[in-house]
Amino acid sequence: MVKDISIEEYAYPLDENRIAKYPLQQRDKAKLLYYDGNQIRDKIFSDLPELLSEDTLLLFNDTKVVYARLFFKKPTGSTIEIFCLEPIAPSDFQLSFAQTQEVTWKCLIGNNKKWKDSVLSQTKEINSKNVTLTVQRLEAVNESWIVKFSWDGKISFAEVMQNFGVIPLPPYLNRESQEQDKADYQTVYAHFDGSVAAPTAGLHFSDTTFEDLKRRNIKTDFVTLHVGAGTFKPVTVEKIGNHEMHSERISVSKKVIEDLLTYNDKEIICVGTTSVRTIESLYWFGVKFLENSYLTASNDTKTSAQRIEQWYPYEKHEEISVKESLTAILQLLDSEKTDYLCGQTQLIIAPSYRYRIVKGMVTNFHQPKSTLLLLVSAMIGQYWKKVYNHALTNNYRFLSYGDACLLKPQH
């Protein structure tokens, strides 16, 4: 049973000096470990286009990292950190970033006990004008808080965060963010604001890489999953059945779903674990729509069908083909006269999971005992140990700013 998997089986020795604290100056000069389902080969990331067949569909997550950490200095000298997680009012990311007066977000608060006053504020010069940002702590929600942000100056909340905030580097880097991280910790194709962590496999792609992909006639598509702080949440329980997976928002266009249908019997490769979870979640959205007769369902049923719970794929379902599932989604989008499927996924991909759509992935080397390592193992089985041992003994750099691998399962 998947829920009985012991997380200790996914431990490996990772010394601090193996964690890349900074990226290489040239993104596409990182090492690339290529496992083709049979053997391991050492490559350079710029080799990737030549390693892909011309009938490959390559999928990217085009989310953009926002400057989600804001610091407020109190007169007493103590510092309050506010870490923005997701918008509450308005709840849509793009609408929230477009607001010009106030928004409400769910946030983590560092040094919360020192926040005695009802409001905090600070002023900065933006576009030659002084802008004052005021924050008010409203109510607690589990381990987080609802925080109201208000400001003057008639600028968008996106501009507020860009000027008042700091880019949220992963905690395992154990260093403060620097000016260069604003460019380094962002993919060259980042488009939609909303993530508090980068889809780091994409950090290796350069404009040159995309030119080489185009020259090889390799098709590229983009989906959006806004990466939440839960991506860094360690598995602290012995059995993964007791681990609660974080939920993240996804958006996939009708065009991408049509392309997935076209490439269903070809090579569909995802860049990053977030893209993998998004594309595999699509299949389960289609299954839910079919099981719940979504097209004629009540509004309550429709709402529940727009979320994939973490263990839903492991329940008993009728066998539904990828074609049937994706076609159901397209019919739904046509009926609702929309070009995008939007929803939430809590999907956990762990050993025993059977991939429906994804045929391979480009990814980085992940932390020991993490859900991301479980996802890799679900694709290549126990061979993940040989892959990681090879990387460790051949001086690969690990985690967000580290090297990459191209993984394909055995056929």
Q: What is the pTM of this model?
A: 0.92
Q: pLDDT grade, residue 344 (50/70/90)?
A: very high
**122 bridge partner residues:** 133
Chain-centre distance for alpha carbon 246: 11
Instruction: Say whether 223 sits in a helix, a strand or coil.
Output: strand
Listing DSSP states for 278-307 in one string gives: HHHHHHHHHHHHHHTTGGG--HHHHHHHTE
Per residue in 248-299, pLDDT (tens digit) is: 999 999 999 999 999 999 999 999 999 999 999 999 999 999 998 665 545 5
End-to-end CA distance of the chain: 23
- pLDDT tens-digit map of 218-227: 999 999 999 8
Instruction: Identify the pLDDT of residue 303.
Output: 44
**In 3D, which of 12, 14, 404, 406 has the Cα closest to residue 187?**
404
Which residue ranges does the chain devote to CATH 3.40.1780.10?
A: 2-65+189-407
For the stretch 190-211, pLDDT in tens is: 999 989 889 999 999 999 999 9
Residues 6+ apart with CB under 8 A from 123: 130, 131, 132, 133
Interval 299-314 mean pLDDT = 74
Q: The CATH number of 2-65+189-407 is which of 3.50.50.60, 3.40.1780.10, 3.90.1150.10, 3.20.20.80?
A: 3.40.1780.10
pLDDT tier, 301 (very low <50, low <70, confident <90, very high otherwise): very low
Q: Tell me how far apart the alpha carbons of residues 65 and 24 are, in angstroms, rounded to a whole number.
A: 19
Q: What pLDDT digit, counting tens, does each position of 88-109 carry? A: 999 888 899 999 999 999 999 9
Radius of gyration of the chain (CA): 22
